């Protein structure tokens, strides 16, 4: 068991620092709304991870490979992510202009933790790359763990707990910026986050439309490494 725990810790740290939409939105939420808000968002993300883990674990390897490489899922997830980013981009500008027109004091709105939880879950759920990550983990490490349910549970749980622990540190660090955030800076941060979401969405759509190009790139990298 100790060996499985030690093997899972590095993967939890890697997952926590994977640069994706959730990474940036977590930092934004924590800096603007504080620790509890960031933690509520992160719990939603973790529940999304658990959902994907269950899919990966209870499916056959053949189905796993088919789901992982289905370009339609990349397009679907990319469109959702792109739409989310565009809506956020337009909404944050409209909200900023509304505050200026109404001369509203620059305070942070009261947190709705349920909405933040759902936001984290949905944002993680529509990112097909997360499914690919857990599919890879199960396929690669399942046999090494002898497909023992207890060992797999220990290994996966260690990844999740480590991931959540590192994220709490990130949330606390981001929270220190809260006192320095004016309404204009908050607006700028949200615009940047929205653009990042749009870029990731476009990236997923491109992967869906050109799946063979991704394979060619992998083959080229492997050929270079072999030399």
Per residue in 130-166, pLDDT tens? 777 787 777 777 777 877 888 889 999 999 999 999 9
Rounded to whole angstroms, the Cα distance separating 149 from 219 reads 34
Task: Report percent pLDDT > 70 for the chain.
Answer: 70
Range of weakest confidence among 104-118, 182-196, 213-227: 213-227
Q: What is the pLDDT of residues 2-36, one digit of tens each?
A: 888 988 898 888 888 776 678 778 888 888 888 89
Domain boundaries, the chain: 2-226
Most confident of 48-52, 68-72, 199-203: 48-52
DSSP for 74-114, please give it.
HHHHHHHHHHHHHHHHHHHHHHHHHHHHHT----PPPP-HH
Widest CA span in the chain = 65
Asked if residue 145 lies in contact with residue 151, where contact means CB atoms within 8 angstroms, the answer is yes
* pLDDT, the chain, mean: 75
pLDDT of residue 121: 92
Find the mean pLDDT for residues 35-39: 90
This prediction's pTM: 0.65
d(CA 120, CA 134): 17
* pLDDT value of position 44: 93
How far is Cα 127 from Cα 116, in angstroms, rounded to an integer?
17
User: Which residue would you say has higher pLDDT here, 14 or 76?
Assistant: 14
What is residue 71's predicted lDDT score, i.e. its pLDDT?
65
Coil, helix or strand at residue 34: coil
**Per-residue pLDDT at 56 exceeds 60:** yes
pLDDT of residue 69 exceeding 60, the answer is: no
For the chain, how big is the Rg over CA atoms in Å? 19
Alpha-carbon dihedral of residues 175, 196, 90, 127, nearest 10 degrees?
-100
Instruction: Of 156, 129, 141, give the one whose Cα is nearest residue 54.
Output: 156
**The pLDDT of residue 89:** 79
CA distance to 8, 140, 154, 225, per residue, from 2 (Å): 10, 19, 9, 33
Residues 6+ apart with CB under 8 A from 68: 131, 132, 135
For the chain, the residue count is: 227
Q: At what angle do helices 128-144 and 35-58 cross, to 10 degrees?
A: 60
Q: What digits encode the pLDDT tens for the residues 189-202?
A: 777 777 877 887 78
pLDDT surpassing 80 at residue 168: yes
């Amino acid at each position: 068991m100790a060996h499985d725990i030690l093997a899972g810790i590095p993967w939890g740290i890697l997952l926590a620092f994977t640069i994706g939409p959730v990474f940036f939105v977590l930092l934004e939420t924590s800096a603007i709304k504080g620790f509890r808000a960031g933690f509520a968002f992160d719990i939603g993300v973790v529940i999304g991870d658990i959902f994907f883990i269950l899919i990966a674990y209870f499916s056959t390897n053949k189905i796993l490979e088919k789901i992982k490489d289905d370009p339609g899922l990349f397009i679907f997830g990319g469109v959702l992510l792109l739409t989310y980013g565009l809506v956020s981009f337009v909404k944050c500008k409209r909200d900023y202009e509304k505050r200026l027109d109404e001369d509203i004091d620059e305070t942070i709105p009261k947190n709705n933790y349920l909405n933040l939880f759902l936001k984290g879950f949905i944002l993680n759920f529509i990112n097909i790359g997360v499914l690919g990550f857990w599919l890879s983990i199960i396929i690669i490490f399942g046999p090494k763990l002898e497909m023992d349910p207890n060992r797999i549970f220990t290994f996966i749980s260690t990844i999740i707990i480590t991931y959540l622990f590192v994220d709490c540190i990130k949330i606390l660090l981001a929270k220190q910026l809260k006192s320095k955030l004016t309404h204009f800076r908050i607006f700028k941060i949200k615009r940047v986050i929205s653009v990042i979401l749009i870029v990731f969405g476009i990236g997923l759509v491109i992967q869906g439309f050109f799946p063979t190009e991704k394979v060619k790139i992998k083959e080229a990298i492997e050929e270079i490494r072999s030399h």
